[in-house]
Structure 1
Amino acid sequence: MDKVISSAADAVVDVPSGASLAVGGFGLCGIPDALITALHARGIGDLRVVSNNCGVDDWGLGILLSAGRISRVTASYVGENKEFARQYLAGELEVELCPQGTLAERLRAGGAGIPAFYTPAGAGTAVGEGGLPWRYDSDGRVALASPPKETRRFAGREYLLEESITTDFALVHAQIGDRHGNLRFARSAVNFNPPAAMAGSITIAQVEHLVEPGGLAPEDVHLPGIYVQRVVPARGVQKRIEKRTVREAL
C-alpha cells in the first residue's frame, strides 16, 4: 500500500519514448513541474500529451516542447506558448484542439470506464463537422484534418459523440498526499489534476506535503488513492505566474 517513490527521477524511470501522458494543471497553476523536469532530463521523445495547454516557452510542458520531445498535443488552447504556435503552424507538431469542458469530461470518462458520451458542445461547428487542422505540412497546407463526429438528437437538440481518453501515464500535482495515494489539491490548483489522474493507467502524483495514512480526513480527500500508483514528495516547488500585472505605486 505504500506508494511513495523517493525522487521524481525514479518515479518516471519507466516512461518510454512514444508514451501517452495526461498532465494536470491550467496554465502554470497546479502543474507537476518536478515530474516534467525529470522527464526532460531522461531525454525521451515522441510523447503524446493530453493537457489543458502546453505551459509557457520556458516552463512546464514548454520545456519538453522546446526540446522537440512532444509529437502530439490534445489541448484546449495554445495559450502563452509561442513555440507551441510556431511548431503547430510549421507542421512540426500535431495538435487536436478540444473544447475545455469536453476535454475534462473525456479524461474523466476514460477514468470511469465510459468509452464515449454525447455533448452539445461544438455541435453545428467545425468541432463536429470536421476539417479542423490537426497538422500542417511545411508549406502551410492542411496535411491532416479532424474527422466529422457522429451526431444524435435528444429532445430536439443536436449532440456530438465524443470518445473518452485514457493514457499510458498521468502526471499530477497535489498540495497534500498520503502514502496510499489519497490526494488533496489547493484551491484553483485542483483544475485538470483529478480528471488527468483518473485517465492514466499509471498515475504519478508529486505532493507538496506527504502525510501518513489517516493524516487526511476522508472528507478532505479530493481524489482517492485507487487512481494513484506513485507518490513523490516534491521539494522546492516553483509556483510561477504566467503574466504578472502590477499597478504603479501611488
Structure 2
Amino acid sequence: MTLDKVVGSAAEAVADIPSGATLAVGGFGLCGIPMVLIDALLQTGVDGLQVVSNNCGVDDWGLGVLLAAGRIAKMTSSYVGENKEFARQYLSGELELELTPQGTLAEKLRAGGSGIAAFFTQTGVGTQVAEGGLPQRYAADGSVAKASAAKPVQVFDVDGERREFVLEEAIAADFSLVHAKRADRFGNLVFDKSARNFSPLAAMAGRVCVAQVEEIVEAGELDPDAVHLPGVYVDRIVVVGPDVEKRIERRTISVDEAASRPMPEGA
C-alpha cells in the first residue's frame, strides 16, 4: 500500500464497491455526509447495499438518493424520520431495517474498528431491543415478515447493585464512506466541529475506508494533536474542495430575524 492515499476521482475511489456490499457511512442528518462519494456510488449502478448509518438522508439528498433508486436492501440506523420514501419502502416490505439505539450504534461501529467482537450495555434492557420482536421487514399485506431476535442478557455487579446488561455485537463493514475537513496524504483526518459526528467511528468500522476531504496538505503539516482519525484507518482520499455543496436539513431562525426579513414578492 502506498503512503500517498490520494486518488484522482470519486468514481475511481468507489469503483470496486460491489452489489451487496456492507457500507458504514458517516454523517448525522445532512451534517458531514460524504455526498460526492454517494453520488459516485449511485452512478456505478450497484444495488443490494446494506448500509449502516445514523439515518438515511432525505428524499433527494444524502443516502436518500441511493434509497430512491432502489439500491439499498437494508439499513441499520438509529433514526428514520425526514424521509417519506424510507417509510414507504419499509412499510411495503421493500426495505429491511435494523433499528438500533444511537449510542449503541456508535459503540458497535467503534468496537468493529477496534477488533472487539461484542460488548454489554444497559441500553435496551427490558425493551424489544433486548427481548426481540422489533419489525425488521414487513410483508406486502402489512404483517411482520421478519422480526428482531432476542439478545443475551446477563447480570453484572455495578456500584454494589445487580444490573441487567444486553449483549450487542460489533459492526464491521466492507467499506466506509466519510467526509472530512482536512487530510494529509497519509490519510490522517481532521473533521469540522459537529460534522465529525459518527464519521471517525464509521471510518474505523470499514475494512476499506474512503474519505472525501475539502483540503489536502502535505505530510507533517497537521498538528498531531489536531488529528481526529489516524491515517491507519484510511485507505483512499478524494479531494472535493471547500465549495462542495452542503445542505441544511431543517433551517430554524429566531423570531427577531424572521421579522426583519422582507416578505417575498407575491406573498
The two structures have a TM-score, normalised by structure 2, of 0.92
Aligned to 2:250: 243
Q: 1:220 aligns with which of 208, 220, 226?
A: 226
2: CA distance, partners of 1:13 / 1:215: 30
Confirm or deny: 8 A CA contact 1:25 1:193 kept in the other structure.
yes
Q: 1:12 aligns with which of 11, 14, 34?
A: 14
Q: 2:150 aligns with which of 136, 148, 151?
A: 148
Aligned to 2:65: 63
Aligned to 1:163: 169
2: CA distance, partners of 1:216 / 1:40: 33
1: CA distance, partners of 2:53 / 2:70: 17
Q: 5+ unaligned residues in a row in structure 1: which ranges?
A: none
Query: What code does the residue aligned with 2:251 have?
Result: R
Aligned to 2:81: 79
| Corresponding residue pairs, total | 250
Query: What code does the residue aligned with 1:158 have?
Result: E
Q: Which moved more, 1:236-245 or 1:24-33?
A: 236-245
Aligned to 2:104: 102
1: CA distance, partners of 2:82 / 2:155: 37
Aligned to 2:30: 28
Q: Aligned residues: percent identity?
A: 65
1: CA distance, partners of 2:220 / 2:81: 39
**Larger Cα-atom Rg:** 2
Does the residue aligned with 1:196 lie in a helix, a strand or coil? helix
2: CA distance, partners of 1:196 / 1:40: 19
Q: 5+ unaligned residues in a row in structure 2: which ranges?
A: 261-267
1: CA distance, partners of 2:221 / 2:38: 27
2: CA distance, partners of 1:108 / 1:85: 28
2: CA distance, partners of 1:85 / 1:78: 8
Q: CA deviation at 1:249?
A: 2.2
Query: What code does the residue aligned with 1:98 have?
Result: T
1:131 aligns with 2:137: no
Does the residue aligned with 1:63 lie in a helix, a strand or coil? helix
The two structures have a TM-score, normalised by structure 1, of 0.99
2: CA distance, partners of 1:13 / 1:157: 48
Q: 1:187 aligns with which of 172, 193, 202?
A: 193
Cα RMSD (Å) of the superposition? Answer: 0.7
Q: CA deviation at 1:245?
A: 2.3
Query: What code does the residue aligned with 2:166 have?
Result: L
Query: What code does the residue aligned with 1:148 have?
Result: A
Matches within 5 A, 1:48-59: 48-59=50-61
2: CA distance, partners of 1:63 / 1:52: 16
